[in-house]
């Protein structure tokens, strides 16, 4: 019987498949199907992730306020992974709006800047209230800092300054000594000019979230996306809020606020886009030198730019030279200014 | 095989071997539609690495067909299979005379076996592979192939006996 079944099976297989012919263009069809599947996957995957994250927040955060730490840990872990992946691979583009209080009279000033950060490269263009550039600065792949002043129509380049610092992740970056100044300010993004030196956007945010001071607070629409909101603990000297995309877990907006009278900075908002490092996007990291601008020595280029910074003149005019910026210690007296101000030669 | 081959070359290879591979896929999947789908998926996987592919494409496709079958090729595919079984829809081409003999029945019963047993029987009796070759395709020990094949045949024998009894009772 064994042999019979085996033979019959063999014959049956031959017989039932004898008239089968494969359709033509299998490879072409497979290529088309693969493309369609990839497109569907990227769309549906993002949608599914969004739905999951939103559902998670909706379920675990009744009324939009976190009751436990499990959700926060999960989201923070995902954000950390997303930032880790974005660190070498994507360009962070930010539009930063800073509202500062002038010393003495308390008058508020609002400045805007466009920022780009990619690995150790960064660029920051500070605009006047009418939107025209005041100064443009950046650190290039060739390890040189470039500063262009649109006021004086001059530019300068200095090697060796402006390299982003590496934030200290983990307990050392979150100790009581720095509790008053959250990591986002402590290390500073290229556009957050409070820090001792600019750090990359992704690394600074990773350092900030790794401190465990941020918790999921709910969800909110940011630029048309239902984003997950992570906020610092109530009662902090400075409140930090990060909104992350539930699809990619990358931050899409950061807001830093301080109470009146505590810091010169009242509020800083950074809207963030994550761009692929295409040739066109990478070009945005280069500080262009406009035609007709005059090259000047670096120490000569800095002071006129510093005078453009709101409140700078009234506070620091007595200090000589660009090195005066280095005299300022970390803390609430720091002022929006050049990202490299702590590294300037005296 | 050289690296960086064109899709046209894959088309040429498939023009020669796709009929045979489709038959394998149909036997593994249980119906022509599911078999075509299975082969299409396998070709898609080969295409993904075709540019730098360095190996035997037929062997790769055969292995992928078996792996996809054993991994439960597409939940929807399995669901469709069960649905067809529940509805009594023909799984493989019916005998044109309507006379279903044991050979037809055995192939139809094949789809009721667990995927690994089915894959072993297809490799052994359709692809004419030895147990050692089948083990290499399936990525398992030769002993596993032997036991799966033996269990598969035993189950087919039981099903064939049932089929014989039923047809005898129905006077076929």
Does residue A150 register a pLDDT over 70?
Answer: yes
Q: How far is CA B126 from CA A223, B21, B129, in A?
A: 59, 11, 8
User: Is the sign of the CA dihedral A131, A199, A184, A340 positive or negative?
Assistant: negative
Percent of all residues in chain A with a pLDDT value above 90, rounded to a whole number? 5
pLDDT at A84: 77
Which range in A8-12, A173-177, B85-89, B97-101 is most confidently predicted, on average pLDDT?
Answer: A8-12
Please indicate whether, in this complex, the C-beta atoms of B14 and A26 are within 8 angstroms of each other. Answer: yes
Q: Which of A17, A29, A34 sits opposite B48 (nearest CB)?
A: A34
Check CB contact under 8 Å for A30 and B47. yes
Domain boundaries, chain B: 1-93, 95-172
Q: How far is the alpha carbon of A36 from chain B, nearest alpha carbon, in Å?
A: 12
For residue A27, which residues of chain B lie inside 8 Å, CB to CB?
Answer: 7, 10-11, 14, 43, 47
Q: What is the pLDDT of residues A302-326, one digit of tens each?
A: 777 766 665 444 333 332 222 223 2
- Sheet with A108-118, side-by-side order of all strands: A214-222, A225-232, A238-244, A251-258, A265-275, A91-101, A108-118, A121-127, A133-139, A144-149, A154-159, A294-295
Q: Crossing angle, helix A2-17 and helix B142-169, to 10 degrees?
A: 80
- What is the per-residue pLDDT for A161? 74
| Residue A14 DSSP one-character state | H
Mean pLDDT, rounded, of chain A: 68
What integer pLDDT is reported at residue B144 of this predicted model?
92
What's the gap in Å between the CA of B117 and the closest CA on chain A?
14
Residue A53 has pLDDT above 60, yes or no: no
Cross-chain CB nearest to A27 (options B7, B19, B26): B7
pLDDT of residue A337: 32
pLDDT at A334: 26
What domains, with CATH codes, occur in chain A? 53-343 (2.50.20.10)
Query: Once rounded to an integer, what is the mean pLDDT over residues A31-44?
Result: 66
Q: How far is CA A113 from CA A53, A80, A137, A182, A195, in A?
A: 31, 26, 11, 21, 16
Q: Is the Cα dihedral A289, A294, A299, A300 positive or negative?
A: negative
Q: Is the pLDDT of residue A182 over 60?
A: no
Reported as half-sphere exposure (CB side, CA atoms, 13 A), residue A318 has a value of 3
Backbone angles phi, psi at A329, to 5 degrees: -80, 170
The tens digit of pLDDT for each residue in A196-207 reads 444 567 777 777
User: Are B102 and A8 a contacting pair at CB < 8 A?
Assistant: yes
Cα–Cα nearest to A152, from A170, A134, A169: A134
Q: Hey, what are A284's tokens?
A: 């945005």
Confidence of residue A6 (pLDDT cuts 50, 70, 90): confident
Which residues from chain A sit within 8 angstroms of residue B11, using beta carbons? 25-28
**Which helix (DSSP H) or strand (DSSP E) does residue A319 occupy?**
none
The residue among B172 and A168 whose pLDDT is bigger is A168
- Where chain B has pLDDT below 50, the residues are 1-4, 73-99, 171-172
Q: Which residue has the higher pLDDT, A331 or B131?
A: B131
A288 pLDDT above the threshold of 90: yes
Are A253 and A269 in contact by the 8 Å Cβ rule? The answer is yes
Q: Per-residue pLDDT for A264 more than 80?
A: no
Give the confidence band of A105 by pLDDT, cuts at 50, 70, 90: low
Establish if B75 touches chain A: CB-CB under 8 angstroms: no
The CATH code for residues B95-172 is 1.10.10.10
Does the beta-carbon distance from B107 to A1 stay under 8 Å?
A: no
CA distance A280 to chain B (A): 28
The pLDDT of residue A29 is above 70 = yes
C-beta atoms of B103 and A17 within 8 A:
no
ipTM of predicted assembly, 2 dp: 0.79
Give A68: exposed, middle or buried? Use CB within 10 Å, 0-12, 13-18, 19+: exposed
Q: Which residues of B touch A20 (CB under 8 A)?
A: 19, 22-23, 26, 32, 35
Residue A339 has pLDDT above 70, yes or no: no
CA–CA min distance B38, chain A (Å):
11
């Amino acid at each position: 019987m064994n042999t019979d079944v085996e033979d019959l099976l063999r014959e049956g297989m031959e017989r039932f498949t004898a008239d089968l012919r494969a359709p033509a263009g299998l490879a072409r069809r497979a290529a088309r199907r693969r493309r369609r599947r990839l497109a569907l996957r990227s769309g549906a995957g993002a949608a599914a992730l969004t739905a999951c994250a939103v559902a998670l927040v909706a379920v675990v955060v009744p009324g939009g306020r976190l009751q436990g730490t499990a959700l926060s840990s999960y989201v923070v872990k995902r954000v950390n992974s997303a930032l880790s992946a974005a660190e070498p691979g994507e360009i962070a583009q930010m539009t930063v709006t800073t509202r500062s209080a002038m010393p003495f009279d308390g008058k508020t000033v609002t400045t805007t800047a466009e920022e780009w950060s990619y690995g150790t490269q960064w660029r920051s263009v500070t605009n006047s209230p009418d939107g025209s550039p005041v100064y443009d600065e950046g650190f290039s792949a060739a390890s040189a800092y470039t500063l262009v002043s649109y006021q004086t129509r001059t530019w300068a380049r200095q090697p060796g300054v402006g390299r982003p610092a590496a934030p200290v992740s983990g307990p050392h970056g979150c100790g009581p000594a720095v509790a008053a100044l959250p990591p986002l300010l402590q290390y500073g993004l290229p556009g957050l000019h409070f820090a001792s030196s600019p750090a990359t956007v992704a690394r600074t945010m990773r350092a900030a979230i790794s401190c465990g001071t941020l918790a999921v607070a709910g969800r909110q629409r940011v630029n048309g996306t239902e984003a997950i909101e992570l906020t610092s603990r109530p009662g902090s000297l400075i409140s930090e809020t990060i909104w992350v995309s539930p699809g990619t877990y990358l931050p899409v907006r950061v807001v830093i606020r301080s109470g009146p009278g505590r810091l010169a900075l009242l509020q800083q908002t950074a809207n963030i886009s994550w761009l692929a490092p295409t040739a066109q996007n990478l070009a945005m990291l280069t500080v262009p030198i406009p035609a007709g601008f005059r090259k000047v020595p670096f120490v000569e280029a800095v002071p006129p730019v510093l005078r453009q910074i709101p409140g700078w003149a009234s506070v620091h005019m007595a200090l000589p030279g660009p090195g005066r910026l280095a005299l300022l210690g970390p803390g609430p007296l720091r002022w929006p200014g050049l990202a490299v101000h702590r590294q300037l030669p005296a | 095989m050289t690296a960086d081959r064109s899709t046209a070359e894959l088309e040429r290879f498939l023009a020669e071997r796709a009929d045979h591979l489709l038959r394998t896929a149909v036997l593994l999947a249980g119906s022509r539609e599911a078999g075509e789908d299975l082969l299409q998926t396998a070709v898609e996987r080969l295409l993904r690495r075709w540019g730098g592919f360095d190996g035997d494409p037929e062997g790769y496709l055969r292995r992928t067909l078996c792996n996809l079958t054993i991994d439960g090729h597409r939940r929807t595919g399995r669901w469709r299979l069960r649905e067809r079984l529940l509805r009594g829809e023909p799984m493989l081409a019916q005998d044109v005379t309507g006379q279903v003999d044991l050979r037809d029945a055995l192939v139809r019963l094949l789809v009721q076996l667990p995927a690994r047993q089915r894959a072993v029987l297809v490799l052994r009796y359709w692809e004419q592979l030895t147990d050692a070759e089948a083990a290499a395709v399936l990525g398992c020990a030769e002993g596993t192939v032997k036991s799966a094949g033996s269990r598969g045949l035993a189950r087919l024998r039981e099903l064939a006996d049932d089929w014989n009894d039923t047809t005898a009772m129905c006077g076929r």
